[in-house]
Chain A
Amino acid sequence: MTSTPLSAWIEGIGFLAPGLPDWPTASSVLRGEQPLIAAPSVLPTPAILPPAERRRASRVVKLTLAIGLEAAAHAGADVSTLATVFSASGADGHNCHALCEQLATDDRQISPTRFHNSVHNAAAGYWGIATKSMAPCQVLCAFDASFGAGLLDALAQVIVDQQTTLLIAYDSEYPEPLHSKRNTPDCGGVALLLTPNKTARSLAKITVSPSAASALCMSASELEALRSNIPALRSLPLLQMLARGESGSLCLDYLSPMQLSVDLQLC
């Protein structure tokens, strides 16, 4: 069978990483206009959540709402209609640690909120409550390959279902002792609003195909550290092209030996 090109139009971008609080800052740094100043990730309080959920909002909930809403606003999209693909290398690490710690004691009466926050799709669930979107919501994990997995499924939803889809790829840190086993340093993520057709708001056309080539690294060491330490930021070379307003091709890390060749055509 002939493969259908995996193509979509990027209409909006959301971004958050250590020292890079939003997409305008990140794109300026990626263009080399300002330096990356090392700082912990800043997670805004999600005003969109009802008060009860806002109180329970964990770092991954704040992170995904921040980048997802930024991408949707960038595109002028109505979040209540958007299909979503969440992809993360892990769930809420602090909540996981607290549960495992308590389950190792004699008092195993864990909190029900801790339990429902432990599911990998907790951030996606809060997103639904916040945005009231009843559209399909996918939640994936592919360890270090989670960005590529999310991109593949989001593109497939755009093409097969002809539905505008918001990809939210994100990761967060574990506290010790799990941190020594999985050392993701901090919260970080990227959101891309993908549409099936070109519109006046389209930023670029993205086409993805499997590749055996080596993934492109970031030439600046502090950006390469983010790319290699936070799985969602395997997307950084692509984001740098978007920030610079360049068309061209590059290769992103996915799941060895399968990588993703990305062709980007600016509008």
Chain B
Amino acid sequence: MTPLHISSYTATTCLGRGLEATLAGLREGRSALRPCVFETVTLDTWIGEVVAVDAQKLQKNLARYDCRNNRLVQLGLETDGFAERVREAITRYGKSRVGIFLGTSTAGILQTELAYRRRDPLSGALPDDFIYRSTHNSFSLAEFTRDYFGLEGPAMAVSTACSSSAKVFAAAARQLALGTIDAAIVGGVDSLCLTTLYGFASLQLTSSAPCRPYDVARNGISVGEGAAFALLERAPAQLASGSLLLLGSGESSDAYHMSSPHPEGLGARMAMAAALHSAGLNADEIDYINLHGTATPANDAAEGKAVAALFGDRVPCSSTKGATGHTLGAAGAVEAVICALALSNDLLPGSPNTENQDPAIPIQYLLRARSSTVRRALSNSFGFGGSNCSLILGLAP
């Protein structure tokens, strides 16, 4: 693909609001996971909560969108000057020429879970103040973003579980390549809810300790929440050295099982190979891999095999989910932003909570953050249903 300019980006997770806090957390090797005290949930697990969500107020004319997920959307948009950069792009290109491509797994399902506790005792009806379209529906975060900026162009939500907000980069890149739009707001937002907390627990995929990706004793995920956005544009002919670029993307399907990865990581390997092909790069031109690394025994074993098969042990790798938790549908965008921070700050992030790397996985796994030149970084995101996506980001020479 023709490289695209990532002209602005931001991420908010439990690690902090915005780039500065996220970078500091990555440098310190901090884990922001806490024992789960969310809502009425009684599970022995740890979570990555964005506490500032609760204080967010939506504008009056957007009140119908009010729910935890859209509050997190707004919090994310209003961080690092991202909304201002979007408004400048709208001024440059026009309100029908800026597209919206956002990933989520559960959008505002929490609103429905809460509404089901307030059903009419006689009729069973949901309360009048519950609005399905602008809270529960998977498109609600994209429609909210469209109305927030007064946009009139294309918009779509990608919902492929935990690969959702990696795949939005690929979908937006296609429309930019075709010229149907001139800029794209891409990103992902997922927020804590009972469905995912009790759901991952039902699959015995949540850990009772903070998650330990790639540790020999890893035993499950820590569910997190997050919002991350990037503004994608076609790169001008003269782009300042050091500008951030999307260099390639690769997508594949496991075609294997609904909730278990292909044991040999075949789909993961195909996605990484497709991303390298899309970027016109060889495996030895990648300086850092941000792994999907959920800390389930099966995911890390399968992904590790795929990475080892393509990259051997030559490329420094880490999963940053020990820092942020698994932000599910937001993970692709959150970790693309972490790659952007690695590239812009010559930082190889480590893996908080991981103590003993699994000796059965022969990759160069980073337990601690360190400084090193990073010119090109690859990010993996894999989801339920066997949906895989890899992205490659780099710096303009």
Known: A111-B202, A182-B132. A137 touches B251 (CB 8 A): yes
Q: How far is the CB of A220 from chain B (nearest CB, A)?
A: 28
Chain B, range 320-372, C-beta contacts under 8 Å to A: none
Known: A112-B259, A119-B384, A119-B385. A140 touches B159 (CB 8 A): yes
Q: How far is the CB of B176 from chain A (nearest CB, A)?
A: 9
User: CA of A124 to CA of B257 in the docked complex: distance in angstroms?
Assistant: 11
Are A103 and B194 in contact, with the CB atoms below 8 A? yes
Q: Does A225 contact B (CB under 8 A)?
A: no
Are B152 and A258 in contact, with the CB atoms below 8 A? yes
Known: A111-B202, A120-B159, A210-B96. A3 touches B178 (CB 8 A): yes
Chain B residues within an 8 Å CB radius of A47: none
Chain A, range 108-155, C-beta contacts under 8 Å to B: 108-112, 114-122, 124-126, 128-129, 131-143, 145-146, 149, 152-153
Are A109 and B198 in contact, with the CB atoms below 8 A? yes
Are B384 and A135 in contact, with the CB atoms below 8 A? no
Q: Does A100 contact B (CB under 8 A)?
A: yes
User: CA of A182 to CA of B133 in the docked complex: distance in angstroms?
Assistant: 8
Chain B, range 154-178, C-beta contacts under 8 Å to A: 154-161, 167, 171, 174-175, 177-178
Are B182 and A103 in contact, with the CB atoms below 8 A? no
Q: Does A255 contact B (CB under 8 A)?
A: yes
Chain A residues within an 8 Å CB radius of B125: 177, 180
Interface residues on A, range: 35 or more
Chain B residues within an 8 Å CB radius of A177: 119, 123-126
User: CA of A141 to CA of B140 in the docked complex: distance in angstroms?
Assistant: 9
Q: Does B199 contact A (CB under 8 A)?
A: yes
User: CA of A204 to CA of B157 in the docked complex: distance in angstroms?
Assistant: 29
Q: When the two chains form the complex, which single residue of B116, B140, B253, B266 contacts A135, counting CB atoms closer than 8 Å?
A: B253
Q: Does B143 contact A (CB under 8 A)?
A: yes
Q: Which of A53, A96, A152 neighbours the largest number of chain B CB atoms within 10 Å of its CB?
A: A152
User: CA of A4 to CA of B384 in the docked complex: distance in angstroms?
Assistant: 34
Chain B residues within an 8 Å CB radius of A149: 154-156
Chain A residues within an 8 Å CB radius of B259: 112, 115-116
Are A141 and B182 in contact, with the CB atoms below 8 A? no
User: CA of A10 to CA of B264 in the docked complex: distance in angstroms?
Assistant: 36
Chain A residues within an 8 Å CB radius of B386: 125, 128-129
- Closest B residue, CB atoms, query A143: B139
Q: How far is the CB of A118 from chain B (nearest CB, A)?
A: 6
Known: A142-B139, A152-B175. A3 touches B156 (CB 8 A): no
Chain B residues within an 8 Å CB radius of A134: 252-255, 266-267, 270
- What is the predominant secondary structure among interface residues of chain A facing chain B? mixed
Interface residues on B, range: 35 or more
Q: Does A215 contact B (CB under 8 A)?
A: no
Known: A153-B174, A180-B126. A139 touches B160 (CB 8 A): yes
Q: How far is the CB of A105 from chain B (nearest CB, A)?
A: 9
Chain A, range 33-75, C-beta contacts under 8 Å to B: 53
User: CA of A254 to CA of B116 in the docked complex: distance in angstroms?
Assistant: 31
User: CA of A185 to CA of B96 in the docked complex: distance in angstroms?
Assistant: 32
Known: A99-B195, A124-B387, A129-B258. A143 touches B143 (CB 8 A): yes
User: CA of A103 to CA of B116 in the docked complex: distance in angstroms?
Assistant: 8
Q: When the two chains form the complex, which single residue of B113, B156, B180 contacts A210, counting CB atoms closer than 8 Å?
A: B180
Q: When the two chains form the complex, which single residue of B132, B177, B253 contacts A128, counting CB atoms closer than 8 Å?
A: B253
Are B178 and A156 in contact, with the CB atoms below 8 A? yes
User: CA of A211 to CA of B230 in the docked complex: distance in angstroms?
Assistant: 27
Chain B residues within an 8 Å CB radius of A111: 202
Are B130 and A181 in contact, with the CB atoms below 8 A? yes
Chain B residues within an 8 Å CB radius of A90: 137-138
Chain A residues within an 8 Å CB radius of B302: none
Are B158 and A135 in contact, with the CB atoms below 8 A? no
User: CA of A132 to CA of B267 in the docked complex: distance in angstroms?
Assistant: 11
Q: Does B234 contact A (CB under 8 A)?
A: yes
User: CA of A53 to CA of B257 in the docked complex: distance in angstroms?
Assistant: 9
Chain A residues within an 8 Å CB radius of B253: 124, 128, 133-137
Chain B residues within an 8 Å CB radius of A119: 105, 159-161, 383-385
Q: Does B203 contact A (CB under 8 A)?
A: yes
Given A133-B255, A152-B175, A177-B119, 15 further pairs, Cβ under 8 A: A1-B182, A101-B116, A104-B113, A104-B119, A120-B160, A120-B161, A125-B386, A134-B253, A137-B160, A138-B167, A141-B137, A143-B133, A152-B156, A160-B177, A181-B126
Pull 22 A–B residue pairs with CB atoms less than 8 Å apart, ordered by A. A1-B182, A53-B258, A91-B159, A104-B117, A112-B259, A115-B199, A115-B202, A120-B138, A124-B253, A125-B385, A128-B256, A134-B253, A136-B253, A137-B160, A138-B158, A142-B142, A153-B171, A177-B124, A210-B153, A254-B154, A255-B155, A258-B153
List residues of chain B with CB under 8 Å of any chain A CB. 1, 96, 105, 109, 112-113, 116-117, 119, 123-126, 130-133, 137-140, 142-143, 146, 152-161, 167, 171, 174-175, 177-180, 182, 194-195, 198-200, 202-203, 234, 251-259, 266-267, 270, 274, 383-387
List residues of chain A with CB under 8 Å of any chain B CB. 1-4, 6, 53, 89-91, 96, 99-101, 103-104, 108-112, 114-122, 124-126, 128-129, 131-143, 145-146, 149, 152-153, 156-157, 159-161, 176-178, 180-182, 210, 254-255, 257-258
